[in-house]
Structure 1
Amino acid sequence: MAYYLSFEECQAIMTMHAQKQTITAIQVATGRDPKTIRKVIRDEDIGHDMVRRTRASKLNPYVDYIEKRWDAGCHNAQVLWEEIRDAGFSGSVSLVKQWVAPLRPQRGIEPAQRYETEPGMQAQCDWADFGTLVYPNGDRRKLYIFIYTMSYSRRLYVEFVHDQRQVTLFACLEHAFTFFGCVPAHILSDNMKPMVIDHPRHGDIVWNPRFVAFAAFHGFEPKVARPFRAKTKGKVERSVQYVRQNFWVRIPDTITFDELNTRVHRWAIDRDQRIHGTTFVKPADRWPTDYAGAAPYDPTHMWVIGNGWHGK
């Protein structure tokens, strides 16, 4: 039976089917006709024979390396593929995804309702704990990440910090405004202490007065997720996970704070050129519309505490 598909395309279809993705989802990801997808899924003997032959011909020289990186905690197929590609591997990322698929725990896909915002209307932000940063001289300091996602385009601003103080949050937000050159109408976060004093499940939000003043100063309306509903800000939650799986695994055991932020800044800009897994559009291509819907930001319009700029 002729499918007119490469080994790699058959592999990708089989992997997505094993992960319980629907025919429609596989069609969107591969661009193939549903009838062709069903034929590949039904004819498992041919599909598995394709996988075995493809692995043997291309991945064998890199299997030991992939296994070592997997055991060391790198479970992102894209990162593994980029690393072996730099070492001479000529196959596609789908080969690596197929090879590591049996190593992942299989789980059903939880249906979720997608909530999309209009251009320029919303950004989401969050903190995340990244353990301890070990400097080259042996010094160790607590490490957190601040991540800010423009909801329509999915462009990211990412910055590592050493604390979660309110002054640090204000600095990070202003750095994000400066980077994007705009301020959205709303900024959504969880109930972080620099923003919210109290948010009872069945009561009104008690905002931190200084954060309310900061929001008014920059002209955005603050929003927070309902308690115990992290999915309300799913875009930034997924972005944190993406940083862990795609960026953090590339970082050496020791690195300076400045070098770490330089690398994550470059990485975030590179991500603008990828096809986003939800929108199926590059964030860079959606950005002009997102930017046009937001308010312009004047980088000289900085929040002042006491008699001076808050700084980093």
Structure 2
Amino acid sequence: MLKVEIRFMIKDLYRRGVTISEIARSSGHGRATIRTIVNGPVSPLPRKRKARVRKIDPFIAYLEKRMAEGVYNCRKLLDELQRQGYQGSWSLLKSFVQPYRQARRHQATVRFETEPGEQAQVDWAHFGFIMHHGCRRRLYAFLMMLGWSRSLYLEFTVSADAAWWLRCHMHAFHYFGGVPRVVLHDNLKTAVLERAAGAVHWNPRYLDFADYYGFTPRACQPYRAQTKGKVESSVRYVRGNFWPGLTFVDLADLNRQCQAWLDGTANRRVHGTTAEVPLERLAQEPLLPLDGKPDYDTSLIAFRRSTKDCFLSYDGNYYSVPAAYAGQLLQVKESEDGQLLVLDARDEEIARHRLAEGRNQRIALAAHYARLGHSSPPARRPSAVQLPAPQSLADLPAAPEVEIRPLVWYDQLLGVA
């Protein structure tokens, strides 16, 4: 292929009136070549190479479908493709997915605003570890933000289980003075058991909790954390404003300081998006009223079988039960205020203890053993007794015959007389 400079010179000569034959003789190229250059561009288009069939080509439709669902993890995609017969390399898959990742990273979004009282967004965040009741525990932060007013609720816990998931919701409702109509969150197991064929299978207890307070739970699409971007940005705000340089004694002290920060800083500032104070906008949110209804029972429920010595095991410690319930399967409820309730098969309370700290503690109440008397060993069963066999006179040995002598005979024998 001729260089661009030579092609330009040939076209320039032709524009000046030099014939194709003269240009061919002076340049040493054939007339057909000169004619092609004259009628074509200075920079010829590159020849299209014949597309090679790649090992990944049969799976492109599947990959595009999975990436549309938010799955960009190449290790996960490789496992799925290999189960379908893919024999290509991980690097080939990675090079195919990479442009889609970049496009997703720079994808423009539209801010979604909700009506007053319509929606709250919820999230958990991990904040390291804390010493709690003598044990090193993970420290979690529960955050709930109202979408319209941007009012924030924050609470720290040492557990993110189902009971504390519900309790933190309940505490947030009390803090806001009402309940939003929709609560948006991730697909965590305390709310969503699974998603199958686009359908959400909810945790039954969470649905019962939602029905009790009258809100509708809504789970984000997988891998779409930006759906609840308001509370996501609140996590960054807490890490950058409340957390740095903080000192606290225990979990209760941490939550006291957290409450003061919410009331004095987070919900008193002028919000960057709304340009208004969140607490002032909160008064305008038509939240569903609590109506003075009693708090939902968020007790942890478990079942334990008591031992013969009238104890049951719970969370590493042992608690006594009345002696009449030894060896029975009993229901155990741990309440939010640290009480451990023991119920029988009729759901009647038979024992109540304060949760113990530490491990391997035995908490016994004397009343549980009051009816347990000191029993004596059981009487032995009477055994058979062998009696001596009866004997007849015929069976007795014969008596010896004794000669009768006068007493004088004994005197003579002794020499007395």
1:155-180 per-residue CA deviation (whole Å, 9 max, x = no partner) reads 11110000111011111111111111
Amino acid at match of 1:294: L
Indicate if the aligned counterparts of 1:303 and 1:309 stay in contact, CA closer than 8 A. Answer: no
Question: What are the equivalent positions in structure 2 for 1:155-304 lying under 5 Å apart?
Answer: 155-200=151-196, 203-252=198-247, 255-270=249-264, 271-290=266-285, 293-304=286-297
Secondary structure at the residue paired with 2:218? strand
Aligned mates of 1:274, 1:211 — CA distance in 2: 33
Aligned mates of 2:108, 2:268 — CA distance in 1: 28
Aligned mates of 2:271, 2:256 — CA distance in 1: 23
Change (3 A) 1:301 1:308: farther
Amino acid at match of 1:256: D
- What RMSD, in angstroms, separates the aligned Cα atoms of the two structures? 2.4
Aligned mates of 1:121, 1:239 — CA distance in 2: 19
Gaps of 5+ in 2: 1-104, 302-331, 338-417
Indicate if the aligned counterparts of 1:122 and 1:184 stay in contact, CA closer than 8 A. Answer: yes
Aligned match of 1:311:
336
Indicate if the aligned counterparts of 1:165 and 1:194 stay in contact, CA closer than 8 A. Answer: yes
Aligned-residue offset at 1:118? 0.4
Aligned mates of 1:116, 1:183 — CA distance in 2: 18
Gaps of 5+ in 1: 1-107
Indicate if the aligned counterparts of 2:176 and 2:282 stay in contact, CA closer than 8 A. Answer: no
Question: What are the equivalent positions in structure 2 for 1:39-54 lying under 5 Å apart?
Answer: none
Larger Rg: 2
The one of the two structures with greater contact order (alpha-carbon pairs below 8 A, sep at least 6) is 1
Aligned-residue offset at 1:111? 4.4
Question: What percentage of residue pairs aligned between the two structures are identical?
Answer: 39
Secondary structure at the residue paired with 1:274? coil
Indicate if the aligned counterparts of 1:158 and 1:268 stay in contact, CA closer than 8 A. Answer: yes
Aligned mates of 1:207, 1:138 — CA distance in 2: 36
1:77-111 per-residue CA deviation (whole Å, 9 max, x = no partner) reads xxxxxxxxxxxxxxxxxxxxxxxxxxxxxxx9974
Instruction: Decide which moves more: 190-199 or 300-309.
Output: 300-309
Q: Report whether the alignment pairs 1:145 with 2:138.
A: no
Change (3 A) 1:309 1:177: farther
Aligned match of 1:113:
110
Calculate the TM-score normalised by the size of structure 2.
0.45
1:203-236 per-residue CA deviation (whole Å, 9 max, x = no partner) reads 1111111111110011000011110000000111
Instruction: Decide which moves more: 257-266 or 273-282.
Output: 273-282
Change (3 A) 1:111 1:269: farther
Instruction: Name which of 117, 124, 146 aligns with 1:127.
Output: 124
Indicate if the aligned counterparts of 1:178 and 1:299 stay in contact, CA closer than 8 A. Answer: no
Indicate if the aligned counterparts of 1:133 and 1:255 stay in contact, CA closer than 8 A. Answer: no
Amino acid at match of 1:264: C
Change (3 A) 1:133 1:309: closer
Aligned mates of 1:138, 1:171 — CA distance in 2: 23
Secondary structure at the residue paired with 2:156? strand
Aligned mates of 2:154, 2:252 — CA distance in 1: 13
1:108-134 per-residue CA deviation (whole Å, 9 max, x = no partner) reads 997431111000011111111111024
